[in-house]
Structure 1
Amino acid sequence: MKELLEKYIQDRCTPEELKKVLPYIDTPLGRKELEELLMADWEDFAPEKAEDGVAAEWQDRLTKQGGKKPGKLAMLRQSWIGYAAAVILVTSFGFYFLNREKRSKVEVQQVAMIEKFNPSGKRTILTLSDSSVVYLGAESRIRYPERFVGTKREISLEGEAFFEISHNPEKPFIVQTGKVQTQVLGTSFKIEAFKGQLLTVSVATGRVSVGRKENSTLTSLAMLTPGKMVSWNPSDNSTETSAIPIEEVRNLKNGTLAFTDARLDKIARDLGRWYNIKIVITNPKLTAYQLSITINGKASINGALDAITAATGLKYKISKDQIIIGQR
């Protein structure tokens, strides 16, 4: 322990060493050993090592003590003053490191949060600090830390995104979407969580756990494997699990819009969001049309509309800033 105490006196302790030495010098034996080492240093302390500023400060403190002139105590050699200042500095240094370490435990949780929002018609690709990749859809918002700390990787999402999560069995990746929590260790999956609509989670690779959080209780909704999707209805808390083509799960990454037995109103909403245009269906009964169709999202919207109307026997027209779909 003597070597560690010498390093402490010389201000050369690492934070880990300070964890050992500071509790030790709080013990009677530790204080005694420290004093012996300091006294040995004092005997070798040269008078010229005490800086004028330090000496003057101590003289001033001694003079002001009790509001009267100092006696013999004030006449101690400057070497003693330099030693006393050194003891105070060393002790303060130790406490500084201890407090700094305590602060660091708090500061490690104070990580900057980043928020990204895509307006209608825009999509972006984000790389997180753990090398996970997020393909964020239009009219979607994501909030995530600048770097992941602690025992989990947690973000929040409003809207839709496709995730390719780097594998880390010691730090699960969690996506919060309102009351629904999606947790993975390393996989690829898609979430759709638009306000007022069904929330869906679908999987391309790996395993995904989906649960509903109510207060502090998490209730499992589904454990998904590739090609599976869970839909949760927020209005009645109902859940349905179904199959889904894996290429449809990857549509945000591939730049396509793939639909399997999808209602026309769902297709219209997704197209409007993708191309930043309002699509109106004139007759509510037409919204129940179901289609299976794959659209090249990199082409113009006209090609998508031509394919839809050809399959349904409907027609469309472009009027100013909106598209109207109706019967022929």
Structure 2
Amino acid sequence: MNKPVNEKDLVQLITGACSPRQRARIERWLDQKPEHRERLSKLRETWTISGELELHQKEDETWDKISQRISNPRHLTIHRLAEDEDAAVDKNKGKLHSKSMHPEYSPSTRSGRWVSGVAVACLLIVGTFYLLYDYGLLGEQQHQPGERAMQKVTADRGERMNLTLSDGTSVVLNSSSTIRYPSRFDGSKREVELEGEAFFSVVPHEDKPFLVYTNRADVRVLGTRFNVNAYADFDGVEVVVENGTVAVASDSLTKQVDPALKNGEEVILKKGEYTIVREGAGPTSPVNVSLDLYTGWINGDLIFEATPLDRVIKRLGRYYNRNFEVADSSLLDRELTVSFKKESLSRVLEVLSVALDVTHEQKGSLIYLESNK
């Protein structure tokens, strides 16, 4: 019999401390009932509020950090994209459902609403602290000299997150994506690590470049708006610029030289330009593209242009929190050109069935596609 999943397991999943076998067991448990994913989401929200908990600190030192956060919170909003058939769109307002993690009130405000918001945050923070302490996740380990405390935020399947970094840079984190960043940007560079996809609006700082590290490519910028797609299940890292200028280099090259890279070892992208970095290769030459194709997801839109079904169902799976299977692998090469504007899952499946001449069958979180030919 499988060992039951408890809060300690979920905390270890959130913090990245669980083993591959433990992660697989938790994923199976999450797929059993929608209530299980809701339980994980609530715990993750509580963890995020107390985001500056440093696991090596003593209780009184941790509380001092938490108290500072209450007076100057970092905003983070979680958008539930499509937890059920009609959750993608609020039928009355036509807006994505969302839950704000911090009250958007000025610390100088004396309204009862702000006080209530802080009181709730305090309760959640204290609860999280004791949860972590009881489970032995708070210790007294010391950082090595020069080591920075990194924070980690993950947008689960079916979620999209908005967060603001300490320098004022805003980040929109797509489903099944993780970002790691320091609580403060010290030194001469602002560095973050990305797994998955995110859209960055970087606050300009001429003397402190902003760097995004991914599995295959690194992006360097002083101040601009750009999108990075670095999902592990895709064979490349895509970068597109909405405004400003960025430099893109393959990861292997970037680790060998200073961020001020030599000519020929990087590609410079300007507004409306795109590049892709594939395994073992440098970035491709910049090309002009339609920005909506790469950034529409920020507004809940899914836009495909001659996109293979293999990539389509991966994006749909992350967005709607579903798993797709096909009867014949040849289906995966079929291309699709279509736009979904905050559509329900049932509507999306109808379009796929007609456009690709397939039938679909849904059982729980699994969607099975089979060709009619």
State whether TM-score is above 0.5.
Answer: yes
Name the CA distance, whole Å, in 2 between partners of 1:145 and 1:318.
42
Structure 1 vs Structure 2 CA RMSD: 2.4
Q: Does 1:208 align with 2:252?
A: no
**Which residue does the alignment assign to 1:273?**
318
CA 1:291/1:243 → structure 2, altered by over 3 Å: closer, same or farther?
A: farther
Name the CA shift for 1:318/1:221 in 2 (closer, same or farther; >3 Å).
Answer: farther
The equivalences for 1:1-328 within 5 A come to 111-197=148-234, 198-214=236-252, 215-217=255-257, 220-234=265-279, 236-237=280-281, 239-241=283-285, 242-297=287-342, 299-328=343-372
**Contact preservation (8 Å) 1:111, 1:147:** no
TM-superposed deviation, 1:178: 2.6
**1:161-182 deviations in Å (ceiling 9; x for gaps):** 1111112222111001134210
Counterpart-to-counterpart distance in 1, 2:271 and 2:361: 39
| 1:293/1:128 CA distance change after superposition, 3 Å | same
Higher relative contact order (CA 8 A, sep 6+): 2
Contact kept? 2:218, 2:250, Cα under 8 Å: yes
- Paired residue secondary structure (1:250): helix
CA apart distance, 1:243: 3.6
8 Å contact kept, 2:211–2:221: yes
Q: Distance in 2 between matches of 1:312 and 1:279?
A: 15
Unaligned runs of 5+ in 1: 1-106
What is the deviation of 1:183? 0.8
For residues 327 and 306 of structure 1, the distance between their equivalents in structure 2, rounded to whole angstroms, comes to 14
CA separation in 2, counterparts of 1:180 and 1:308?
33
Write 1 or 2 for the structure with the bigger share of helix.
1
How much does 1:196 deviate? Answer: 4.2
| Structure 1 residues 285 and 239: CA distance shift in structure 2, 3 A | farther
Q: Is the 8 A contact 1:118 1:137 kept in 2?
A: yes
Check whether the contact 1:208–1:223 (CA below 8 A) recurs between aligned residues: yes
Where has structure 1 moved over 6 Å in runs of 4 or more? none
| CA–CA distance in structure 1, aligned partners of residues 165 and 340 of structure 2 | 29
For residues 291 and 237 of structure 2, what CA distance do their matches in structure 1 show?
Answer: 18
Question: Going by fraction, where is strand more abundant, 1 or 2?
Answer: 1
Q: Is the 8 A contact 1:156 1:177 kept in 2?
A: yes
Q: Cα distance 1:108–1:124, how it changes in 2: closer, same or farther (>3 A)?
A: farther
Q: Deviations over 1:50-105 (max 9, x none)?
A: xxxxxxxxxxxxxxxxxxxxxxxxxxxxxxxxxxxxxxxxxxxxxxxxxxxxxxxx
Residues in 2 aligned to 1:260 and 1:243: alpha-carbon distance in whole angstroms: 15
CA contact (8 A) 1:226 1:246 kept: no
Larger deviation, residues 117-126 vs 306-315: 306-315
Question: Is contact 1:108-1:149 (8 Å) kept?
Answer: no
Question: What is the TM-score normalised by the length of structure 1?
Answer: 0.62
Take 1:306 and 1:240, find their aligned partners in 2: how far apart are those partners? 36
Question: For residues 307 and 207 of structure 1, what CA distance do their matches in structure 2 show?
Answer: 37
> Gaps spanning 5+ residues in structure 2: where?
1-143
CA deviations 1:86-127 (Å, max 9, x no partner) are xxxxxxxxxxxxxxxxxxxxx996653211112222211110
Number of aligned positions between the proteins: 221
Q: In structure 2, what is the Cα distance between the partners aligned to 1:196 and 1:220?
A: 26
